[in-house]
Amino acid sequence: MAQAKINKSQKIREHLAKNKNAKPKAVVEALKAEGVEVSTALVGQVKYHGPDKSKRRKAGRKKAAAAATTQPGLTVSDLRNVKKVVDRLGGIKQARKALDVLQELG
């Protein structure tokens, strides 16, 4: 009769819940005694880079990206582009006139 499939990562999490400070090699040995073959790489992945930690990292990146896109202010690149437009219009006075007309249109 076939054995039920064992979720190795779950077994590792269960062992780590009981032994929080266990090193990966110790976890491998303990699970081997229970009849579960796991690699030290898998234990390290579950222990140090588990789903909880990656979710927190992704959430932090999303917050940082949102903050970067919503912050007011002009960048140096924006100012250079504005200067090019002002130069093409013939100076600041002409650019202000163009902005006044633009404001009336919109």
pLDDT at 104 over 60: yes
Is residue 16 within 8 Å of residue 46, measured between CB atoms? yes
Pair 57, 80 in one domain: no
Q: Whole-model pTM?
A: 0.46
Residue 52 is assigned to a structural domain of this protein: yes
Question: How many independent structural domains does the chain possess?
Answer: 2
Which tokens in the block code for residue 17?
């819940």
Residue 85 is assigned to a structural domain of this protein: yes
Pair 46, 78 in one domain: no
Pair 83, 36 in one domain: no
- Give, in degrees to the nearest 5, the angle at Cα 30 between 32 and 14: 105
pLDDT digits (tens, 9 = 90+) for 20-73: 899 999 999 999 999 999 999 999 999 888 766 656 667 777 776 666 555 577
DSSP annotation string for 4-71: PPP-HHHHHHHHHHH-TT--HHHHHHHHHHTT----HHHHHHHHHS-HHHHHHHHHHHHHHHHHHHH-
Pair 59, 25 in one domain: yes
Residue 95 is assigned to a structural domain of this protein: yes
Pair 36, 55 in one domain: yes
CA nearest neighbour of 38 among 48, 47, 27? 27
Structural domain span for residue 94: 73-105
